[in-house]
């Protein structure tokens, strides 16, 4: 069922958009809340008449999006995650994780508006885009870092692993040298 949105509906669209929704959602939620009208000829004509009022609402929504864009552009959001010994994250960073960090920074953005290339499964800096309005896109950086205590623990584990590897290598070299000495002694005895 196609409807014309008269208000911004979270996770659906903005004012004046024609969207396709299920009949039950429209009948039970959108129509009673006066968030949408059925997209037919009559309502399209009414919408054209109300275009000035809608233009004001759209302008307000766009201004709010531009204000959020100014807050977001160029910032770097740091996300502290747990990391395995191989340097990869336990799980992946999701848009929900990013939204929670943005809220801590004082910026409220819907998670469906965020997009990034691929999935974030390792440490590093990633570029995230937020499509706030039809033509308003903010870009910011997401830095995925390791917890300081965990970093120390990983360094200790790596140092111990290197020490064990060095000991194994030394034992192998000693065993090789002993085998070579034995072989030489056997060759001299003949």
H, E, C per residue of the chain? CEEEECCCECCCECCCCEEECCHHHHHHHHCCCCCEEECCHHHHHHHHHCHHHHHHHHHHHHHHHHHHHHHHCCCEEEEEECECCCCEEEEEECHHHHHHHHHHCCCCCCHHHEEECCCEEECEEEEEEEEEECCEEEEEEEEEEECHHHHHHHHHHHHHHHHHHHHHHHHHHHHHHHHHHHHHHHHHHC
The CATH-assigned architecture of domain 73-146 is: Roll (3.10)
Q: How far apart are CA 42 and CA 46, in angstroms?
A: 6
Q: Look at 181 and 19; give whichever has higher pLDDT.
A: 19
Mean pLDDT of 159-174: 82
**Distance in angstroms between the alpha carbons of the first and the last residue of the chain:** 97
CATH code for residues 2-71? 3.40.5.10
Question: With contact defined as beta carbons under 8 Å apart, do 122 and 109 qualify?
Answer: no
User: Band of the pLDDT at 15, cuts 50, 70, 90?
Assistant: confident
Burial class for 124, CB neighbours closer than 10 Å (0-12, 13-18, 19+): exposed
Q: What's the rounded mean pLDDT across residues 148-170? A: 76
Q: What is the pLDDT of residue 20?
A: 93
pLDDT in tens, 33-88: 999 988 888 887 777 777 777 778 788 888 988 998 898 888 888 888 887 767 67
173 pLDDT more than 80: yes
pLDDT of residue 151: 65
The confidence score (pLDDT) of residue 84 equals: 74
Angle between helical axes of 51-72 and 41-49 (0-180°, round to 10):
70
Average pLDDT value for the chain: 83
Task: Report residue 21's pLDDT band, with 50, 70 and 90 as the boundaries.
Answer: very high
pLDDT of 190 = 63
Token duo for residue 11: 């996770």
Residue 31's pLDDT band (cuts 50, 70, 90): very high
């Amino acid at each position: 069922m196609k409807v014309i949105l008269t208000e911004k509906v979270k996770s659906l669209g903005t004012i004046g958009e024609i969207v396709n929704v299920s009949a039950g959602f429209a009948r039970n939620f959108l129509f009673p809340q006066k968030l949408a009208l059925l997209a037919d000829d009559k309502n399209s004509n009414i919408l054209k008449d109300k275009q000035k009022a809608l233009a004001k609402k759209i302008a307000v929504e766009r201004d709010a999006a531009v204000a959020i864009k100014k807050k977001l552009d160029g910032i770097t959001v740091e996300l502290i995650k747990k990391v395995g010994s191989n340097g990869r994250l336990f799980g992946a960073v999701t848009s929900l994780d990013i939204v929670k960090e943005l809220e801590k920074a004082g910026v409220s953005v819907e998670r469906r508006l965020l997009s990034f290339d691929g999935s974030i499964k390792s440490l590093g800096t990633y570029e995230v885009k937020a499509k706030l309005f039809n033509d308003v896109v903010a870009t910011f950086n997401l830095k995925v870092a390791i917890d300081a205590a965990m970093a120390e623990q990983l360094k200790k584990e790596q140092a111990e692993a290197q020490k064990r590897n060095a000991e194994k290598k030394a034992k192998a070299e000693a065993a090789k040298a002993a085998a070579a000495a034995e072989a030489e002694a056997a060759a001299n005895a003949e």
